[in-house]
Amino acid sequence: MDALLAAGLVLALIFLFLGLGVWIFVGLLAVSGLSLALLAGMDISRIGTIAANIVYRYSTTWELAAIPMFIWMGEIIFRTDISDRIFRGLTPFVNWLPGRLLHTNVLGCTMFAAVSGSSAATAATVGKITTTELSRRGYDQSLSLGSLAGAGSFGLLIPPSIVMIVYGILAEVSISRLFAAGVLPGIMIAALFSGYIAFRAVLKPGIAPKAEARFKPLELIGAIIDLLPIITLMVIVLGAIYSGIATPSEAAAVGVFGAIVITICLRQFSVAMLVRTLLGAVVSSAMICSILIAAAFLSTAMGYLHIPSEIARTIGEWQLSPSMLIVVLTLFYLVLGLFLDGVSIIVMSLPITLPLAMQAGIDPVWFGIFLIVTVELGQITPPVGFNLFILQSLTGQSVGRVARYAFPFFLLMLGAIALLVWFPEIALWLPSTLYD
């Protein structure tokens, strides 16, 4: 069967199962098995052997151990008063900026993303305190919710990122290099967000109330103390990775230990809390790992049908420049982001898009950062924008209204993609400096 026709049939099967509301990993397994049976003519025993080999290979992948560890660390921090401490600690340092406390959304999400690895956890943890506080103090709601929706997605880009680990495993790219590549783009997007808030505040000072009284030196010291737990955890985890002392998986385990020690020091540790965080981590990890295994099975099925190579060859015949290819892929991922979450987008599309990128001479580390930024866009686009749902539950605002508030930050992230295309060293300089 023609590979492109087979690709259309596989895609139709995927949308059929997703439309039926089947769990994603079950749907991917079913599509893979049916594709091999109906389109490749394989018998059940051979399909079973292929599936068993994939399950064994991914179940014994050491890099995969980082996922449950980072999720557990995020769960522990989520159940402490770290978000309150971040807000109090950042307040004196942003009070002099145009827009004042609106910047706590951006900086708070940036800091929490560096220990969470999850977009949803970042938006929920920071949002549970800033949405209430900023509203109570009279800050502009559109900028407050819009900046939080956009900055909440930093959990995908700023290391340690669960989605980055997923990409590294599937693309067979060094996770440490990916983590390093995400740092400067994450800081760049945070700077774009804060710059936009400041610009809006200069044009329309009424979006933020008048500055509060100057903070005294002792209050500044207290603010630094409030930030110490999150900064300590960032230094422990990222320092261990970038210094070469530990692999990402080992650093994740160290991070869990550090998070437990911090909760003990804050006198917020309990056995009940530890059990709840462990159960939450198990559920989330099982979901992600099962999707990864199912996606690997789908990738293998598509390989047997020669779908990735044929699509890569067809698009290659269009003779697109690398820049035009990026434009096409950006549009493709924007459409996927309307319906799917980040992990699902990556695992289902990568067998097709990565060969295209490699064929065009695009660095796989750079492509991973580009892909993650486009996935971030899906977090704030309806109808399936998870950050929008989180803010709806926190504030009672409709998803459509929150999406309108987030639209300027959506455009800023598109601008960030353009900057990454024009200046690829934004993503590639740090990993090349650290590891070459």
Per-residue model confidence (pLDDT) at position 312: 65
Q: What is the pLDDT of residues 90-119, one digit of tens each?
A: 988 888 889 889 999 999 999 888 887 777
227-244 confidence digits (pLDDT tens): 999 899 888 888 888 887
Task: Calculate the alpha carbon distances from 119 to 77, 148, 302, 380 in Å.
Answer: 14, 11, 30, 11
User: Looking at the whole model, is its pTM more than 0.95?
Assistant: no
Residue 213 has pLDDT above 70, yes or no: no
Mean model confidence pLDDT for the chain: 85
Q: Name the more confident of 284 and 358.
A: 358
Residue-level pLDDT at 285: 78
**Choice between 393 and 278, residue whose per-residue pLDDT is larger:** 278
% helix, strand, coil for the chain, step of 5: 80, 0, 20
* Coil vs helix vs strand at 299: helix
Task: Report the interhelical angle of 175-203 vs 162-171 (nearest 10°).
Answer: 140
Summarize pLDDT for 10-33 with one digit per residue, the tens. 778 877 876 777 777 788 888 888
pLDDT at 43: 87
CA–CA distance, 242 with 177 (Å, rounded to integer)? 9
Q: Tokens 């580009």 belong to which residue?
A: 370
Asked if 222 and 240 touch (Cβ cutoff 8 Å), the reply is no
Distance, in Å, from the CA atom of 101 to the CA atom of 93, rounded to the nearest integer, reads: 9
